Amino acid sequence: METRRIGSLEGSVVGLGCNNFGMRIDYARSEAVVHAALDAGITMFDTADIYGGTHSEEFLGRALGARRQNVVVASKFGMRVDDARRGAKPAYVRQALEDSLRRLGMECIDLYQLHEPDPTVPIADTLGALNDLVRAGKVREIGCSNFSAAQLREAESARPADAARFVSVQNEYSLVHREPEAEVLPECGRLGLAFIPFFPLGSGLLTGKYRRGVPAPENSRLSQAWAAGRFLSDDRVARAEALGQFATSRGHSLLELAMSWTAQRPAVASVIAGATTPDQVRANAQAADWKLTAADLAEIDRIAPAAAG
């Protein structure tokens, strides 16, 4: 599989999002997904301390085992674990990192990401703590998630010249959510940041299994009320259906369109897609091989314009 740079790291263009581990699937099923990903050539694994009630990191570390040295492990901190564990104060940054290392069973995290901005803490203070972790050899690179272009600029200007800098930003991005194109993706180009999209399949909407007026398949992510309310608007479903028809006309699936389109966007390094079965992860791994032409891209823009995302 193609690999791309994230700072000094090099990860597969399709990554595995581990947010289902400990939430929708148990350890045995998580292990099967991880092994399928490795066998398919995926080397980018993205998790977070809050996923699966903190079990995702544990499941990922156990499943990787001796194969950990061949992959990029990315994790995140900052969202609420409980009332005592949240935010980006320097003391908590250090505690969160140690907690994640223990759960993962590792001595170093390749990419350690601030999961969301913390408006109560100056970004310079958080970056200082993260720089200390890099210098201690416990973190190789640092990144952020859910940051605006203005927040990326603030972080870049706040760090001393010789300190570690964010090398990546991980935000939601897909054919049904194109908002990063307005400011964040251009800012990534200016700052030389890798962009790591999450929810590239619109939380499942772009897999082709949802239709207007038809209940979501039982046990699917979008059968859950919180996800359906966010992703299953009539407009989004209609757009997914039109995109599916376009993909079929080109001899491809909607899944292949969603992954290939996202992988071809400027600054994108690794497209993070979740999976609950080995078959899903194999499909995701193979889906980014379609090289879209300029004519294809123009038609996609007509069907799913950026302004609507």
- Return the domain boundaries, the chain: 3-202+260-289
Sign of CA dihedral 125, 153, 112, 255: positive
pLDDT digits (tens, 9 = 90+) for 141-198: 999 999 999 999 999 999 988 999 999 999 999 999 999 999 999 999 999 999 999 9
3-202+260-289 architecture in CATH?
Alpha-Beta Barrel (3.20)
What's the whole-number mean pLDDT along residues 292-302?
97
Q: What percent of the chain has pLDDT over 90?
A: 87
Return the number of other C-beta atoms located less than 10 Å from residue 54's C-beta: 17
Return the number of other C-beta atoms located less than 10 Å from residue 182's C-beta: 12
What's the whole-number mean pLDDT along residues 80-89?
95
Residue 5's pLDDT band, with cuts at 50, 70 and 90, is very high
Q: Where are the alpha helices (DSSP H) in 121-277?
A: 123-135, 149-158, 184-191, 225-231, 234-249, 254-263
What's the whole-number mean pLDDT along residues 38-47?
98
In angstroms, how far is CA 70 from the centroid of its own chain?
19
* Active-site residue, 173 included: no
List 74's β-bridge partners, or say none.
46, 111
In angstroms, how far is CA 298 from the centroid of its own chain?
26
Given the residues 27, 51, 92, 112, select the one marked as catalytic. 51
